[in-house]
Structure 1
Amino acid sequence: MRKMIKAEIYHDEEYYCARCLDVDVFTQGKTLDQVVANLKEAIELHLSDDGERANTLPLNPSLFTFMDLGELNV
């Protein structure tokens, strides 16, 4: 069974920024794909450096994000 790590991803004036709600991780990227890849790498590095936290969360976490899609034309 995989555990979920919640993250907030938002776009500022130039970059996409990602902040984990469950672990102390923050990253950014020029594109949404880049920030998601950076977030996964940052989480893996954080968990591999913190032995106690690594025992409570899997090393291959699932990423779960909420995204503001802006105004939709429906």
Structure 2
Amino acid sequence: MKRTFTASVWQEGNWFVAQCLEVDVASQGETEAEALNNLAEALSLHFEPPVATITPQIKTLEVEVGAA
């Protein structure tokens, strides 16, 4: 299935950064085109189903929060 996403692209120093506006995924490249290609690859990987080699353990923990 193909989906269309929107990207914000800007330059930081010598690098171009591409960030997807619909999903919290970003990438970079030496050119705008490379940053967008890298973002497309990152989005494809983001939507692949996870494959765990070791079954994760689910734990709970209690943490004191608030003013002392």
Coarse TM-score class (shorter-chain normalised): 0.5 to 0.7
Where is the strand percentage greater, Structure 1 or Structure 2?
1
List runs of 5+ in structure 1 lacking aligned partners. 51-74
Distance 1:38 1:49 in 2: 19
List runs of 5+ in structure 2 lacking aligned partners. 51-68
Q: Secondary structure of 2:28's partner?
A: strand
RMSD: 1.9
Where is the helix percentage greater, Structure 1 or Structure 2?
1
Distance 1:49 1:3 in 2: 16
Q: Secondary structure of 1:4's partner?
A: coil
- Over the matched positions of the two proteins, sequence identity in percent amounts to 33
What is the count of residue pairs matched by the alignment? 50
Task: Give TM-score scaled by structure 2 length.
Answer: 0.63
